[in-house]
Amino acid sequence: MTRIFSGIKPTGHATLGNYLGAMRRWAEVDQHQSDALFSVVDLHALTVEHDPARLRRLSRQAATLMLAAGLDPALCTLFVQSHVVEHVRLSYLLECTATDGELRRMIQYKEKGAQALAAGRSVRVSLLTYPVLMAADILAYGTDEVPVGDDQTQHVELTRDLAVRFNQRYGHTFTVPKATHPQVAARVMDLQDPASKMGKSHDAGAGIVYLLDDADQVRKKIMRAVTDSGREVEYDRERSPGVANLLEILSACVGGNPIDLAGVYESYGVLKRDVAEAVVELLRPVRERHAELASDPGYVDQVLEEGAERARGMARPRVDAAYAAFGLLPMG
Ligand code: TYM
C-alpha cells in the first residue's frame, strides 16, 4: 500500500490555500486510498521569531482543524512532530548528507532570510536547515508520496536527492518519494496581491481567507479581491492573475475546469459573488466541526497521543537502520 506523509506547520491560522492545496485531499482521497500519516510539524514553526504561548495554541488548533477537515484517526495517523523524536534523530544524519550550497539555494530560505534581515532581525540557523528536517519527516516513514501545494516542490526535490545520495553511499535505506499536487489550486494566490502566495505566515491581510473566518468575512474578502484592468473574464495566469486565481478557487470548489468556467461569466462582480458563496459553503462544515471539536480538547489530545505512539513505532526501525548504515554503534 502506498505510504503517504504530509504536514502543516503551526506558524499562523490555516488558510484556504492550505485547505485547497493540501488538507482537503488528505481527507477526501489520501486517507482512504493509502497508509497515510499527517503531522502538525511544530518544530518547523521555530525557524523564525516565535511566541511560545501562541505556538501552543496554534498547534492544537492545527490538529483540531485537520480533524474538522475530515481526517479520521481510524483511517490515518495524526500526530505532533515533536512527540516523535525520530524526526530530529534522522535530521542530524541528513545534515551530514546535505551540503551548505544546496540548502542556500532553497527559495524559502532566500525569501524568509532576506525578510528577517530587512526587518533588522538575525536569521536562525534552523531556517537554513529546515528542509533537511522536512526530508527527515518524509524519509523516516518510507514515504512514497507527499501530497503538498506547489510551494513545497523544491523541498521534496531536495528530499529525493538526499535519499538517493544516502542510499548510494551507505546502502539502500530510504524510499525515494515524490510530491503530488491537486489538479487545480496547487498555489492559491493572495486576493489582494495575486503575485504572491496566500500564506498563513504573512501579516493578517484582507487578501487571506482563513478557514475559521465567518461567512461575512469570507464574502467581504472575496468581493474586494483585486482583479485586473481588463473587462473580460478570461483564464490567463500571466495577463489576469487575480481573475485566474478566482477561477481556480471556484473550480476547486464546484468542479469543472477554470477555462470553461471563465466562459460562463460576463462580469467580475458576478464571478466574485459565486466564488464567495462557493467558498462559504465549502468551509461551513469545517468551521462547524471545528467548533464541536474545540469544546473537547481531551479528545484531540488523545488522538495525538495515540498517533504519536503509532508513528514512533513506524519510524524507529528505519531511523535505527540509518544510524547503523552510517556507522554508529547500536544502542545496547
Ligand atoms: P505549510 O504549513 O506552509 O503548508 C501546509 C500545506 O499547505 C500548502 N499550501 C498551499 N497550497 C496551495 N496554495 C497556497 N497558497 C498554499 N499555502 C500552503 C503547502 O504546500 C503544504 O502542502 N514545509 C511544509 C510543512 C512540512 C511538510 C513536511 C510537508 C514539514 N514537513 C513533510 C510535507 C511533508 C510547510 O511549510 O507547509
Of the listed ranges 86-90, 119-123, 210-214, the least confidently predicted one is 119-123
Ligand 1 and 18: CB distance under 6 A: yes
Among 5, 9, 25, 112, name the best residue to mutate to test ligand 1's pocket (greatest count of ligand atoms within 8 A of Cβ). 9
**Which SS3 state, helix, strand or coil, does residue 30 take?**
helix
Ligand 1 and 197: CB distance under 6 A: yes
List C-alpha distances in Å: 29 to 132, 254, 277. 27, 17, 24
Distance CA 148, CA 25 (A): 9
- In our burial notation (b when 16+ CB lie closer than 10 A, e otherwise), range 9-24 reads bbbbbbbbbbbbbbbb
> Average pLDDT in the 263-268 region?
94
Distance 195 CA to ligand 1 centre (A): 18
Ligand 1 and 290: CB distance under 6 A: no
pLDDT band at residue 203 under the 50/70/90 scheme: low
Please list the active-site residues. Answer: 112, 197, 200
Nine-digit cell string for 110: 532566500
For residue 190, the ligand 1 atom closest to its alpha carbon is 15
Distance CA 259, CA 313 (A): 47
Dihedral in degrees, nearest 10, Cα atoms 26, 27, 32, 35: 40
List C-alpha distances in Å: 137 to 17, 92, 142, 143, 312. 22, 12, 10, 9, 12
pLDDT band at residue 204 under the 50/70/90 scheme: low
Distance 148 CA to ligand 1 centre (A): 6
CA atoms within 13 A on the CB side of 271: 29
pLDDT of 100: 96
> Average pLDDT in the 327-331 region?
93
> Average pLDDT in the 159-167 region?
98
Q: How remote is the C-alpha of 79 from its chain's centroid?
A: 15
Residue ranges and CATH numbers for the domains of the chain are 3-181+297-326 (3.40.50.620), 215-292 (1.10.240.10)
